[in-house]
Every structure is written in C-alpha cells, then in structure tokens.
Amino acid sequence: MGFKPIIGILTNETVGLNGRQLSYSTGKRYANAVMQFAEAVPVLIPSCINSVDIQTILDFVQGIVLTGGRANIEPHHFNGPPFPENELIDPERDRVALDLIPACVKRGIPIFGICRGIQEINVAYGGSIYYRVHQEPDKNDHRMPQRDDATLEDIFAPRHDILFTENSILRDLVKSDRFTVNSLHGQGIKDLGKDLDIEAWSEDGLIEAISINTHPSFGIGIQWHAEFYPERPENLLNQALFSAFGRACRDYAKN
C-alpha cells in the first residue's frame, strides 16, 4: 500500500441531546470523499483549539479541508452589518478557520474550502460576504429547496451551471467551459479578497470558485458541496477536485 497523507477536516460546534450537550462534528461525506478520492487519512479538528495548538496540528497534517456549516461567519470579521439576534453563529469556528488559512499558506499546506470554506478563505484575505444572496436584486436564489418534503436527492441535485474563467484550474480538470453543480447556500462572496483569483462564476454573476494566487500548491475554495456524490458520472468535477487535492497533499508530504 502506498503512502497516504493525513488531511485535517475542520469541524463545527453542534448541539445534541435536546440542547444539553455541545459537540464538534462534521458530515460523514467529507471524510468519505477524503478517503476515497483524495486517497488520504482524515482526522477531525475541533474548532475549539487555540492558536498555538493550530501550529502543532499543522506539524503533522498534509492538507486541510474547510467544511460547510449551518452557521455563517460573523460580519464583524469583514465590517458587515450586524446579524439579527436570532442568527446562528459559531465564533470558535470563525476564529480557528481564519487562523488556519494564513498558517497553511505560509507553510504551503494544501487547502480545500467547501461552501462556508470558500467564504472563510475570502474573509481571511479581506473580502466581504452577502448576508442573503437571494435578497440581492441581480442574484438568483442559491438556497436548497424551500419545501418540507425535499429529499436528500432534491437538496443535493445539480441545480445550475458555473462558467469557468479563461485560465481556470477547474477548466483544466474537466476540459470544459462550464459545469453543473448543486446549490444550497444563503450567503456568498460579495467583494473578492486580496491575492485571490476567480475560477468560476454562476450565470447570475456570483463567484462560485476561487484560488489563492500566493499559495505555492493547492489553495481552492468552491461554493457548492463537492463531497456529495463525487462518485457519480455527472459530478466528475467534484471527484477531480478531491483527486487533485490529494495529489497536492502527497506532493507536500514528499517536499
């Protein structure tokens, strides 16, 4: 058996047992995609660690996945208008993600940001976020189906096309100018952060994928959920992204 890199998957704070117990967790599909398509060993990173411990973790991992999550980044991180009082937040996840990103880039550790993860990369580089994309006059509704009987298949079905930029890394992965992706996010990138390049747009002009142009290896964020059904032929791009991420993690380990 060949060498397998270790990839850290950032978790979210969640509440269980009728609200009586907090935990740090993430979706099983992130770990599965890392194992199957990045050909790596996943480890979960609790979003309560301090800045010193982040450096300790980065001493032994060869890649980081910034997962999606129900809570949104608090707007004080990008000078946005305050959230309503009932908005779900995860301050520890905000802090750890925004510390992890520059630390990874400095070391050259590959980063793959998914949904919330692309927004964290943007904010880490000084960008801003739309509070609700569907409330913007020139944007479509990118949220999951808003009906109670929506199945998992409905929620994660391919929903709209993304258009690759001329020199997009993603274009090279699938040898195409566009691809159809799922869509279940309320927020999205407003102003692009410094040192970031746009890799793909949605047809309404929302940024769907970015790369960190100062990253010496793999630093990519995407707005859709690539961890869902990457094994299906219609999701070739998702599989290709995890595979490219895994290759970058192995190269980082060798170097």
- Write the burial class of residue 85 (CB in 10 Å: 0-12 exposed, 13-18 middle, 19+ buried): exposed
Task: Pull the structure tokens for residue 86.
Answer: 């009932």
Per the residue annotation, which of 74, 120, 208, 227 is the catalytic one? 227
- The region, left, alpha or beta by phi > 0 then psi within -120 to 50, assigned to residue 140 is beta
CA 235, CA 228: separation in Å to the nearest integer? 9
Q: Is residue 92 among the annotated active site residues?
A: no
CA 96, CA 8: separation in Å to the nearest integer? 13
Q: For the chain, how many residues are written?
A: 255
CA 114, CA 64: separation in Å to the nearest integer? 11
Per the residue annotation, which of 13, 74, 104, 115 is the catalytic one? 115
Burial 42-79, CB ≥16 within 10 A → b, else e: beebbbebeeeebeebbeebbbbbbbbbebbbbbebbe
Per the residue annotation, which of 142, 185, 215, 225 is the catalytic one? 225
Q: Is residue 76 among the annotated active site residues?
A: no
Q: Is residue 115 among the annotated active site residues?
A: yes
In which element (H, E) is residue 238 found?
helix 236-254
As annotated, the active-site residues are 115, 225, 227
